[in-house]
Amino acid sequence: HAQLRDLGEQQVDLGKAPRAGSKQRQVFDIRQILANWAGVDLTRINGLGLTVASKILTEIGPDLSRFPTVKHFCSWLGLCPGTKISGGKVLSSRTRQSSNRVRQALKMAAMSLYHGNSALGAYYRRLCARMDKPSANTAVAHKLARMVYFMLTRGEEFVDQGQQRYEEQQRQRSVAALKRRATNLGFVITPVVAGT
């Protein structure tokens, strides 16, 4: 705790602290120390608890200037799809094997989102319906890595859209895709009002 307090250069407001002596106060104090060190509160991202946030910060630190772009960061973590292409044909798009501790922490955080009521939880369940769980887990860990990068480099705060908003956006995208497809085939889609 003393070493982490010395690293904190900024004062991030996390809201009202719980009463002194409670377990919530201990968790709040650790969150405050990590947020002061990083400049942002990484635990606001769904799935990232204190252990994952502390592992990320202790492994890579809050300064990501050595990664010019988010793509470099995700590639270093081993969360980007492979690009084995020959003659225009994709031979393999698997991610490379890696023992990176931050990658492992992000994959564990992604797995914890399966039963969540957040937009990230809905995204994970949608991917699980389309592909196998290990691939979906890697894709969600990649998304979490991008969020962590943007929070640490730009100082952006994470705001959860919520499951309903995410599902409504997916519905609107599906309807727009159906309309485009119908237009290409020479048809016109007219929505039907429920109850008529």
Q: Where are the domains of the chain?
A: 2-160
**Distance separating alpha carbons of residues 78 and 97, to the nearest angstrom:** 7
Cα Rg of the chain (Å, integer)? 21
| pTM of the entire predicted model | 0.76
Residues contacting residue 185 through CB under 8 Å, at least 6 positions apart = none
The model's pLDDT over 41-91, given as tens digits with 9 standing for 90+, comes to 888 888 888 888 888 888 888 888 899 999 999 888 888 877 777 888 877
Choice among 112-116, 147-151, 155-159 with the minimum mean pLDDT: 155-159
